[in-house]
Amino acid sequence: ILFDLEGVVQKCSHPGIVRIAGDFFNEIPTIGADGIMLCRVLHDWNDEKARIILNNCFRAMKPGGILYIIENGDPDPEVDLSLLSLNMAVMCQSRERTQMEYFQLCSKAGFSSERTVRLNALQTILIFTKP
């Protein structure tokens, strides 16, 4: 299932994907999904807006659901993120967060941390569950 803004879901033409248009700042529909994946989403938003997204994810998920967050969040990155963080500050009024900062945001939304999986020198999958 692809849930995104109307302009994005209209561009998706893969026949196996269910497309649902909406705004994750307002509500994420409860569609019985086992999980939600946010890939390079939260780093675009300041803490207040990131909390809105995470709270809406929490409400949309069934108990035991899994939240996958893919971000530049390795505790010991091999890549210097300072210029990327500067870019995020200028473009989005946000910044690159540490893993601990993602854990804190997700914990405040009600999620429990499960584990992390490092994808490469830059990106990590942070895995959370809804109790």
Q: Which residue has the tokens 């780093």?
A: 43
Q: Residue 6's pLDDT band (boundaries 50, 70, 90)?
A: very high
CA 86 to chain CA mean position, Å: 20
The angle that helices 47-60 and 99-108 make with each other, rounded to 10 degrees, is 50
Q: Look up 43 and say whether it is catalytic.
A: yes
Going by their DSSP bridges, the two strands 124-129 and 112-118 should be labelled as: antiparallel
> Which entry of 3, 36, 43, 105 is annotated as an active-site residue?
43
Predicted confidence (pLDDT) per residue in 19-69, tens digit: 999 999 999 998 777 899 999 899 889 999 999 999 999 999 999 999 999
